[in-house]
Structure 1
Amino acid sequence: MTRIETVAFTSGRSEVAGTLFHPEDTEHPPVVVMAHGFAARRTWGLPAFAERFADAGIAALAFDYRGFGDSGGGPRRVVSARKQRADYRAALEYVRSRDDVDGDTTALWGMSYSGGHVLALAATEDVETVVATVPFTDGLHVAGHAIQHGGWEYVRGMTAAIANDARQILFRRDPHYVRVVGESDRDDFAVLATPGSLEGYETMIPEAERAEWPNRTAARVLVEIPFNRPVSRAPSVDVPVFVLEATDDQIVPGAAIDRLVDALDDVHRVRLPAGHFESLVGAVSPEVAAKQARFLREHLQ
């Protein structure tokens, strides 16, 4: 049976909350470090994957970014690739400081936006392997895909949100927030508004958390997204990479995955008939977890 431990470590000046999943009857196991995608929390689907990895003899640390979930830091719900990647680095440092796990044999796991983080980090960090689930690979592709579906209404909403948040930054006020996810036919802007995004995103959220989840993030991330291009770092990644592509993905275009796979030197690509969020919590998720556990076991032990 997996032993679950609530832990904390420091990133920047803030305390980061995490959950460490210890495999049973495995001394000094390797570790996979995990964090969620866009504006999400570690309790949303990650525990099932972490427990599957622990069953395979691999410890798993899942954590909340600063400003999200149980972690400290503010302002709250600000998505920043730079800071979130720094949180991953702090998590790696934390597991390397522990005596009960093999912090020198580590992997990075990410999904969607964090799938891009782990690819970028693998170009510079000392890890053995990477698992990227429906990864955000190229902000230009993703932004173009969103505009294609949302049209000029999306562009207008995005422009207004950026301007409002720029004013808040200028006057050192709290961020201007927009919805994380929503329907494309509503008047209020949402970052993720492609068909099925709202329903898919909500399937990740445990029932007990759904009512209190605020569904908002700082609009400044809209400036970051087009310039966030982890695929540009892929040629520098020299460790094996597991890439999960959902063939019915409405957020990450298949062409972006093609470009990533072409740029990587050692890649194991798996395609499954699923939507973006189904890979984590849908009918195919046990199969995804099993394939990833086998991959991690092969490259970490």
Structure 2
Amino acid sequence: MTSTRLQILIGGDVIAARRFAATTDALTGPAGRPCVVMAHGLGATQDSGLFEFAEALAGAGVEVVTFDYRHFAESTGDPRQLISLTRQVADYHAVIDYARRLENVDPARIVAWGVSLSGGHVIRVAAEDPDLAGIIALTPATDGLPVVAQMIRALGPRYVMRVMAHGVRDVAAKLRRQPPVLIPVVGSPGEVAGLSAEGAVEGMFRIAGPTWRNEFAARLVLVMGGHRPVIHAKRVTCPALVQIGDLDRTAPPEAATAAATRMRATVHHYPCDHFDVYPGTSCHERVVKDQIAFLQRILAPRPDPRAAAGATRQ
């Protein structure tokens, strides 16, 4: 399926995005088609497994816009490979606002879709934007505290201190206006990396696209423990789908369950690890099927009241 390249302006930077047009009118209503806005997880890019999700949803009648956060891939922003949690949430809002103005898109039927780190972002986005029609959070990272605790249990406190030391060095480099100190996005257990659970390297490299780089600015590790989208969950009023990998060694399932409970979300569980939801893996087809069913339920077009009134008069 072909896609259209988009450029979305925000704060002097450009977000690189792509639009996947719906291939059926199954969900088209009087105001147009619904649209899903989609971004990837920690240090990942839209060409790393997201296009297959987008194509599947477009095949069900949904317009889809995927994008790369600022500082990554074809989006602008310096320094490169910087993961700013605040900026990434702002990027979601900017792309959602852009999607609402697209031709043939119903601005009242926008859904925010996120996976892993962005699966937590969409919770905060929905809490801040009550006009969203829904959110989908796939294997979401909803609470940094249990992530750090799990890391300590699995790899020991010395490992965590080694990772934190790189973060301190990166902050010092920022203060001295030097290039960022970079660490790998994924690494083998015991290696300094953002994701070092068993299977993370194989999982990420299996889906990695041409713009992805296995590195990010280490300063992020100093704030991840305080990254807690779960605290925003009670303010989410739109329908939510939370998809949990029961064997997830990267985003603790218990934290995702807690967030889902606070949102009164629709929840689906899968017997898989964090990276087993992507194309070519054991749970991918089930995950996509459940997403389509959720979207068909919450985005079913309503009849045009003017047309109904005309039919009554006749």
> What are the within-5 Å matches in structure 2 for residues 1-301 of structure 1?
4-26=3-25, 28-125=32-129, 126-186=131-191, 189-206=192-209, 209=210, 213-265=212-264, 267-281=265-279, 282-301=281-300
Q: Is the 8 A contact 2:23 2:60 kept in 1?
A: no
Where structure 1 has 5 or more consecutive residues not aligned to the other structure, the ranges are: none
Q: Is the 8 A contact 2:143 2:229 kept in 1?
A: yes
Q: Is the 8 A contact 1:116 1:132 kept in 2?
A: yes
SS of 1:276's partner is: coil
Which residue number corresponds to residue 308 of structure 2? none
Answer with 1 or 2: which has the greater Rg. 2
Q: How far does the alpha carbon of each residue in 1:139-190 deviate from its partner, in whole angstroms, 9 at most, with x for none?
A: 111111122212133222123112211211211222111111101234xx11
What letter is aligned with 2:201?
A: L
Which residue number corresponds to residue 312 of structure 2? none
Q: CA deviation at 1:222?
A: 0.6
| Structure 1 CA distance for aligned equivalents of residues 160 and 189 of structure 2 | 12
Stretch moving more, 7-16 or 133-142:
7-16
SS of 1:244's partner is: strand
Q: CA deviation at 1:39?
A: 0.4
Where structure 2 has 5 or more consecutive residues not aligned to the other structure, the ranges are: 301-314
The total of aligned residue pairs comes to 293
Q: Is the 8 A contact 1:58 1:297 kept in 2?
A: no
Q: Is the 8 A contact 1:150 1:193 kept in 2?
A: no
Q: Is the 8 A contact 2:166 2:218 kept in 1?
A: yes
| Structure 2 CA distance for aligned equivalents of residues 291 and 230 of structure 1 | 23
What letter is aligned with 1:205?
A: A
Q: Against the structure 1 CA distance between its residues 25 and 263, is the aligned structure 2 distance closer, same or farther, given a 3 Å change threshold?
A: closer
Q: Is the 8 A contact 1:142 1:251 kept in 2?
A: yes
Q: Is the 8 A contact 2:48 2:212 kept in 1?
A: no
Q: Is the 8 A contact 1:92 1:103 kept in 2?
A: no
Q: Percent identity of the aligned residues?
A: 33
Q: Against the structure 1 CA distance between its residues 214 and 52, is the aligned structure 2 distance closer, same or farther, given a 3 Å change threshold?
A: closer
Q: CA deviation at 1:213?
A: 4.3
Q: Is the 8 A contact 1:4 1:22 kept in 2?
A: yes
SS of 1:239's partner is: coil
Normalised by the length of structure 2, the TM-score is 0.89
Stretch moving more, 281-290 or 107-116:
281-290
Stretch moving more, 171-180 or 108-117:
171-180
Q: How far does the alpha carbon of each residue in 1:113-144 deviate from its partner, in whole angstroms, 9 at most, with x for none?
A: 00000011111112011100000110111111
| Structure 1 CA distance for aligned equivalents of residues 24 and 150 of structure 2 | 47
Q: Is the 8 A contact 1:3 1:23 kept in 2?
A: no
Stretch moving more, 16-25 or 132-141:
16-25
Q: Against the structure 1 CA distance between its residues 176 and 243, is the aligned structure 2 distance closer, same or farther, given a 3 Å change threshold?
A: same
| Structure 2 CA distance for aligned equivalents of residues 284 and 25 of structure 1 | 25
Q: Is the 8 A contact 1:249 1:275 kept in 2?
A: yes
What letter is aligned with 1:101?
A: V
Q: How far does the alpha carbon of each residue in 1:9-63 deviate from its partner, in whole angstroms, 9 at most, with x for none?
A: 1122111111101112436211010000000000111111111111111100000
| Structure 1 CA distance for aligned equivalents of residues 169 and 260 of structure 2 | 37
